[in-house]
Amino acid sequence: MCKYFTATDELAVETTHDMNPEHRGTRLMPGLMKAMVTIYEPADDAHPSLPTLREFLAKHTDPESGLVSYDFFGPTLRIDPAPFLQLPPEYLDYRVGPGSSFVTNEPLARSRSRPSGQSA
């Protein structure tokens, strides 16, 4: 079963994302993008071209900040590696897929304007 890790809000990056990939450039939306890393367990049959967690951390950990950073379709994304390092040691040999999550400013503005405790 895959494990998913997403960066905290503090590490989100303001960017613009194309929301209609079939018609490039027709629906560019501003929003926040966060790093998201998937760790594939052995039964998940990850593609062999994906790096192991050990390789990913070695290549992408910034020695100054201690954060993992990588470029993903434009912006450089960052994620705290602490949750990865709390996994059992065998996870260092599991394959990982870096990715991202993106939320446009519209739902972010709506969620910030609601009184706390109220949902949509």
Read off the DSSP letter of residue 111. H
- Report the C-alpha dihedral over residues 10, 57, 71, 29, rounded to 10 degrees: -40
Query: What average pLDDT is seen over the chain?
Result: 86
- The C-alpha angle with vertex 24 and arms to 9 and 8, in degrees rounded to 5, equals 5
- Every domain of the chain and the residues it spans: 3-18+26-103
**Model confidence pLDDT, tens digit, residues 5-61:** 999 999 999 888 776 667 666 667 888 889 999 999 999 989 999 999 999 999 999
CB neighbours of residue 53 within 10 Å: 22
What is the band of 102 on the pLDDT scale with cuts at 50, 70, 90? confident
- Report the C-alpha dihedral over residues 18, 11, 101, 69, rounded to 10 degrees: 90
* Residue among 51, 14, 17, 19 at smallest CA distance from 34: 14
pTM for this predicted structure: 0.77
pLDDT top residue among 114 and 104: 104
109 by DSSP, 3-state: which?
helix
What is the band of 105 on the pLDDT scale with cuts at 50, 70, 90? confident
